[in-house]
Amino acid sequence: MSEPQADPTNKPENASQEQPVAGPSNPALSTPPIAAADANIPEQPSQPAPKTPGPTPSQFPVSPPQSVLTPSPPSDDEDEDLPDSAQLLSQSTQNKTPRRNSTPKKMNSSLIRPRPLTSTTATIKSSPIVKTEQASQSPVKPPPEVIDLSLDPSPPNSRASTPQPPSQSLRKRKASRPSGSFSTPRSKRARNETYHEDHLALDGNIIIVVGLKKFRLHRSVLAEQSTYLKKEVFPREPDDTEDKIPLYRIKVPNLTAQNFAALLNAIKNAISFADEEPEFDQIASILEASHALKCNKFYRWATRRFEKMWPQAVDEIIQAPCPNAAATISLARTCKLPVSVQKCAMYELVRRRVDYSDRLSKEDLQRLNEVQGRLTSEWACRIAIAVDKNFVACGTEGCVSAQPLAHHDMVVGSGIREEYFFDPVCGLEALSKADWKGKGWCEACVLQRQNVWRKSKERLWKDLDGFFGLA
């Protein structure tokens, strides 16, 4: 006998009571927490699937598939109480995919909580968040270099990762800078240039650089004294400017910072130079600078000083030694001093027999040796002898001019011959001033001999021009 079929429209009264309700009150039906955005959306009641004729639902709540419950003792009617698979699949899908309203709602930032991480091994291996945390603990590697091929048309293999040294062409371009431009050597030289402490005019309107010394001076004063600066330097463009003041670098032979400063001192203190006798080094510096810059007034002044030190007239030649002979010879050639100054200085070297090999050239030393030999021969063979064709035997009673021994005693015995062996010019002067009359010579014989020795001295002094190669 079959059971009567139930009417689907008439639900049993206890259907709502027997249906399990999913929610937070039932711990067995708890699901993983959902994001804050899902929590704010009201949950819609799920639509149960149409029931098929069969046994009534079981009184036990339905647990999620991942939960494992301790099974109760098996019963005969357990299969009748479990829901079918279609109902479970529909319920889990509706819980995981909630509906969203058409109008977006604002999210409350205070309710946002990070999704908790599961502690299972499978979740750690598959979760990207855990991988990110583990990767952050390792050393940070720089991102790979991105090369724009549009900017560098060369293939990647041709681009070297290591820096390459500069090419030889670049070095050549750096080394071949013009000297006139503001290049590195000029900048280094400018840093080494310093002002001269004695010639730094506060109101100076021009800067002259000689060597590594700078002189701040007045242009009008220099133009008045120096023809070279007036005509050849000042008309051209300055080499540089300093504090809006034109700067000129002067490079002239024989011009140094020392002798230029000496010339400026002479220009500044011209009156005191006229009254005092400067030292040789100071006169030499003024001579060199005035000759190089064509300061005619001071060049003539220095020339007169040298002529006074080295006299031109033979009668002014003195026996006392004159120092600075080698320096005078060099100055006489470079600064075009008179020939008499150079001849007198060279004769000083011949008669003093001083070694000046470190200051003179080989040609000068050879010439001086030749002249020295000729002068000694002239003195020994022709001048210091008793018999001379110009001497006439005197018949005056008591005169000893005819006695050879008397002449030998006056020349050799007195030491004149040995003393002036290398200085015949002063030797002839010494013979003229000897006391011949006191030794038995008459007045006529004495005057005659003095006249002969004076002419011999003048002739010898004149011949020195040819001996020294100055004629």
CA angle 145, 148, 150 (to 5 degrees): 165
> Is 90 exceeded by the pLDDT of residue 144?
no
Strand-pair category, 240-242 with 194-200: unpaired
Q: Model confidence at 68, in pLDDT bands (50, 70, 90)?
A: very low
CA distance 215 to 196: 6
Domain boundaries along the sequence of the chain: 186-254, 310-467
- Note the Cα 252 to chain centre separation in Å: 25
Residues 6+ apart with CB under 8 A from 379: 417, 420, 421, 424, 427
Stronger pLDDT, 381 or 69, i.e. the higher one:
381
The residue-averaged pLDDT of 257-277 equals 89
CB burial string 311-347: b at 16+ within 10 A, e below: eeebeebeeeebebbbebbbbbeebebeebbbbbbbb
Does residue 455 carry a pLDDT above 70?
A: yes
Determine what percent of the chain is predicted with pLDDT higher than 70. 56
Direct distance between the N- and C-terminal alpha carbons of the chain, in angstroms, rounded to an integer: 173
SS3 200: strand
- The arithmetic mean of pLDDT across residues 303-317, rounded, is 90
Predicted pLDDT at 297: 95
Task: Tell me how far apart the alpha carbons of residues 87 and 90 are, in angstroms, rounded to a whole number.
Answer: 5
3-state secondary structure of 236: coil
Instruction: Please compute the mean of the pLDDT values over residues 254-266 and round it to a whole number.
Output: 96
Asked if residue 223 has pLDDT above 60, the reply is yes
Q: Residue 292: its pLDDT value, please?
A: 97
| Most confident option among 101-110, 188-197, 389-398 | 188-197
**Residue 99 — φ and ψ, nearest 5°?**
-80, 150
- Phi and psi (nearest 5°) for 174? -70, -35
Distance CA 434, CA 316 (A): 18
The CA-CA-CA angle for residues 77, 79, 83, to 5°, reads 125
CB 323 within 8 A of CB 358: no
Concatenating the DSSP letter of every residue in 49-88 gives PPP-SSPPPPSSPPPPTT---PPPPP-TTHHHHSPPHHHH
pLDDT top residue among 312 and 37: 312
Q: Between 122 and 431, where is the model more confident?
A: 431
> How many Cβ atoms sit within 10 Å of the Cβ of residue 283?
23
The answer to whether the CB of 448 falls within 8 A of the CB of 388 is no
